[in-house]
Amino acid sequence: MKGAIATTLVLAGALLWSPNAANGQTSMGTAFTYQGRLLDLGAPADGDYDFEFTLYDDATAGSSVGSAVTEDDWPVSHGLFSVTLDFGSDVFTGDARWLEIGVRRGTSTGAYTYLSPRQALTPAPYAMALPGLWTRQNTTSANLIGGYNGNTVTSGVVGATIAGGGSVDPFFGINRVTDNYNAVGGGVDNQAGNGDGDPTNVFVAVVSGGSGNVASGDGTTIGGGADNEASGAWATIGGGQYHDATAQQSTVGGGWYNQATAQGATVGGGGGNIASGSQTTVGGGWLNEAAADYATIAGGGASNPADDSTRNRVFDEYGAIGGGGNNRAGSDDGNATTAPYATVAGGRHNQASRTHATVSGGQDNTASADYATVGGGISNTASTDQWTTVGGGAANTASDEGATVAGGHMNTASGTKSTVAGGYWNTASAPVATVGGGTTNTADEAHATVAGGGGNNASGWAAAVGGGESNTASGSTATIPGGYLNTAAGAYSLAAGRRAKANHTGCLVWADSTDADFASTAGNQFLIRAGGGVGIGTDSPTEQLQVADNAKVEGDLFVEGSVGIGPISPSEALTVLGNIDASGNVKAGGDVQVTESTVNSAMPVSTEQSTTSTSFVQLATIDIPDQDADRLLTLNVRFHAKGESMGQTAVFIVRGFCYGDGSTTDLADFHSSAPLLGAIHIRSSVYSDYRLNLGPFAVSDDQRWRFVVFYRTRTASYAAYIDELEWEARSIRYAY
């Protein structure tokens, strides 16, 4: 080109337009109109000229932006020209741009003359209100990009929005939208979409702000925070850090390192919590895990924050933990349906491992039976069978259907529907047995009751001990109101006071404070040992029996058996040792003749013996010779025995059988299988006398009886002791 070409340039502006697929509107695109004035050799140019337009990011050096635009043989009239320029998308991002213009005459094919300096492109006044915000046009829905000019919308994406944020600093990074109609509100290093190259498979995902967040599922939302990922469809993360909501409709509200990994699972907040069952909820806390469908953990967390194994966990569906630490609800057997609806309200290291089992609180408690309940306390267990209950206390156990321990320490209710109300080391081990309280008491027969005291035992059916110490009610429906070392061994018997022994059926034995046994000798006796006398109508008896007024009986008075006042072996229907002081008459009519004789007696044990066996060990054999006529036979066995420690039961039993006079069978074969005739349970650690009165047994003149005595201890750690075993057999004949 000959001569100089000079230009005067004016930037007229840019118009953006876009077609709309739904309503037929036309897109303004990315082109703009450039108008200039060209002088050729100092005069306004006329004719056709070739133009080259290049966009730069610097006034003198820098790099070109977008592709150069050339227009050949472009008309210039009177020095003026107008040209439409389109450098493509993503070139005007809010950063400064300069336009370099090259020109040559249209008839020339030589080099362009480049006009200097480059022309700065300045914004129109209204465009200045939107710094750092630009659009990328397409034929469907324009993408809107704001913030750092490095923020990106993946090619082919439509309807994307990046409102702002992003950073040139690689530590923070840019914001990205990779799928259609996704949005990033701000922050840095956030992504809306899954970035797999297909812009159609994640719809309306949103990251509002924060840092390093990824919303990669349909309809997912992240409100803010850092390093969170919502990848399940319609999952939500409110904020916080390092969260994952990976399943459909899962939610993490906030906190740190929480995971909602099943449909509808929710973690409200806290840290290190996991909701991995469908529709599960973890409200907050630390290191909690709800791992079964519809499970709930309200809060709490690991009892040792540094030990993941001490977190709260729900293993079975519909289970719940209110709070506390290291609690478990469910069976942890890999089957989430084994123990539904198990609940631990709080406390530490508690476990409810069966259907509808509940632990309200406390520490180290276990409810391991269906519908079992532990109210609180420490180291309590409601186990084995359904409906067991421990209210509280320490180291208590309820282990059979409907068994209850209300509280106390080391109590056991192991019989069906048995109850221990409280106290220490008490045991109710038979159906419907009850111990009210006290210490080392035992109710080990059906319907037996010990109300309290210490070392008492109710071992007969429906037997009862009201209180006191070292009392034993071993007969059916036998009763001891209280006192010390009393025994009610006969059915329907009652013993009260000190060392009263009602050893026969239907006996009532009342003993005063004398430190000696006072025992019945036959059935249906009413025996009184009162060193200060018995007063009727007087509070100051001067005789063994004193009646202050008349004793009147209208009609006949019949006594079956004997009544002894004073002696323990009455010889008549009524025997009184001492005077009877009565102001009226005492009458007796009719005779009853009783012939009673001792058949035999012996003391097979006279030195101390002991055993730690919990199985019965044979102690002695008692053989009764044949009789000279049909008689009734009774056997009285006296044990001078004890347990090694208070409350540790020593048990003595007697078995017996009848056999023919000429039998040649080896009788030892029958010892362990013979019928049980009586038992004594000893819980005292002090040597005392205990009696079993057995019979009457019918025996003919050609028969013999053998009785075998066994003993054992209830607990192998504590021995059973005996230093005297004495027996006496008597035969009775009645004549009227």
Q: Are strands 133-136 and 143-146 parallel, antiparallel or unpaired?
A: antiparallel
Residue 498, pLDDT above cutoff 60:
yes
Predicted pLDDT of residue 631: 74
User: CA-to-CA distance for 252 and 274, rounded, in angstroms?
Assistant: 10
User: CA-to-CA distance for 49 and 110, rounded, in angstroms?
Assistant: 12
For 561, counting Cβ atoms within 10 Å of its Cβ (0-12 exposed, 13-18 middle, 19+ buried), the class is: middle
The average confidence (pLDDT) of the chain is 87
Percentages helix, strand, coil for the chain (3-state, rounded to 5) are 0, 40, 60
Q: How would residue 591 be classed by pLDDT, with cut points 50, 70 and 90? A: very low
Helix (H, G, I), strand (E, B) or coil at 129: helix
Q: How would residue 511 be classed by pLDDT, with cut points 50, 70 and 90? A: very high
Helix (H, G, I), strand (E, B) or coil at 216: coil
User: CA-to-CA distance for 60 and 448, rounded, in angstroms?
Assistant: 108
A 10 A CB-CB count for 30 gives 22
Domain 5-129 CATH (choose: 1.10.3470, 1.20.1260, 3.30.70, 2.60.40): 2.60.40
Predicted pLDDT of residue 127: 57
Residue 11, pLDDT above cutoff 80:
no
For the ranges 96-110, 212-226, 463-477, which has the lowest average pLDDT? 96-110
Q: Shortest CA distance to 121 belongs to which of 61, 71, 163, 59?
A: 59
The DSSP code sequence of 454-503 is BS-EE-STT-EE-SSBS-EE-STT-EE-S-BS-EE-STT-EEEEBSEEE-
Dump pLDDT digits (tens) for 595-619: 556 778 889 999 999 999 999 999 9
More confident residue, 429 or 547: 429
Q: Which range, 277-286, 553-562, 631-640, is most confident?
A: 277-286
Q: Which range, 323-327, 540-544, 661-665, is most confident?
A: 323-327
Q: What is the DSSP letter of 670?
A: G
Is 351 within 8 Å of 366 (Cβ atoms)? yes
Q: What is the mean pLDDT of residues 570-575?
A: 52
Q: Shortest CA distance to 314 belongs to which of 305, 304, 338?
A: 338
Predicted pLDDT of residue 663: 63
Predicted pLDDT of residue 597: 66
Predicted pLDDT of residue 660: 77
Predicted pLDDT of residue 170: 77
Q: How would residue 131 be classed by pLDDT, with cut points 50, 70 and 90? A: low
Predicted pLDDT of residue 712: 94
User: CA-to-CA distance for 525 and 507, rounded, in angstroms?
Assistant: 5
Predicted pLDDT of residue 10: 37
- Please, what is the Cα angle at 649 between 643 and 653, to 5 degrees? 95
Token representation of residue 154: 């993946």
Predicted pLDDT of residue 590: 44
Token representation of residue 549: 């007024």
Predicted pLDDT of residue 645: 85
**Full 3-state SS string of 376-431:** CCECCEECCCCCCEECCCECCEECCCCCEECCCECCEECCCCCEECCCECCEECCC
Residue 20, pLDDT above cutoff 60:
no
Residue 588, pLDDT above cutoff 50:
no
Residue 191, pLDDT above cutoff 90:
yes
User: CA-to-CA distance for 192 and 177, rounded, in angstroms?
Assistant: 5
Residue 319, pLDDT above cutoff 90:
yes
Counts for the chain of helices (H) and strands (E), in that order: 0, 71
CATH 2.60.120 fits 596-735, yes or no: yes
Is 237 within 8 Å of 245 (Cβ atoms)? yes
> Alpha-carbon torsion 529, 532, 538, 544, what sign?
positive
For 22, counting Cβ atoms within 10 Å of its Cβ (0-12 exposed, 13-18 middle, 19+ buried), the class is: exposed
Q: Shortest CA distance to 399 belongs to which of 363, 372, 436?
A: 372
Q: How would residue 586 be classed by pLDDT, with cut points 50, 70 and 90? A: very low
A 10 A CB-CB count for 625 gives 11
User: Which residue pairs, CB below 8 angstroms and at least 24 apart, start in 511-515?
Assistant: 511/483, 511/486
User: CA-to-CA distance for 458 and 683, rounded, in angstroms?
Assistant: 11
Q: How would residue 14 be classed by pLDDT, with cut points 50, 70 and 90? A: very low
In the chain, the percentage of residues whose pLDDT exceeds 70 is: 86
Q: What is the mean pLDDT of residues 577-593?
A: 45
Residue-level length of the chain: 736
Q: Shortest CA distance to 694 belongs to which of 649, 651, 728?
A: 728
Residue 169, pLDDT above cutoff 90:
no
Token representation of residue 677: 């005739």
Residue 12, pLDDT above cutoff 50:
no
Residue 137, pLDDT above cutoff 50:
yes
Give the start-to-end residue ranges of the domains of the chain. 5-129, 141-241, 252-353, 596-735
Q: Are strands 161-162 and 143-146 parallel, antiparallel or unpaired?
A: parallel
Q: How would residue 27 be classed by pLDDT, with cut points 50, 70 and 90? A: low
Predicted pLDDT of residue 350: 97
Predicted pLDDT of residue 110: 87
- Tokens 């404070």 belong to 513
Dump pLDDT digits (tens) for 341-396: 999 999 999 999 999 999 999 999 999 999 999 999 999 999 988 999 999 999 99
Q: What is the mean pLDDT of residues 145-149?
A: 90
Residue 461, pLDDT above cutoff 50:
yes
Q: What is the mean pLDDT of residues 286-313?
A: 94
Predicted pLDDT of residue 735: 45
Predicted pLDDT of residue 733: 62
Is 223 within 8 Å of 238 (Cβ atoms)? yes
Residue 602's DSSP bridge partners are: 727
CA dihedral angle for residue 673, residue 678, residue 682, residue 683, rounded to 10 degrees: 90
Is 454 within 8 Å of 439 (Cβ atoms)? yes
User: CA-to-CA distance for 471 and 460, rounded, in angstroms?
Assistant: 13
Dump pLDDT digits (tens) for 218-267: 999 999 999 999 999 999 999 999 999 999 999 999 999 999 999 999 99
Mark residue 701 as left, alpha or beta (left: phi above 0; alpha: psi -120 to 50; beta: remaining): alpha
Q: What is the DSSP letter of 667?
A: G
Phi, psi values for residue 127, rounded to 5°:
-65, -25
More confident residue, 659 or 440: 440
Whole-angstrom CA distances from 471 to 182, 440, 449, 481, 632 are 84, 11, 12, 9, 30
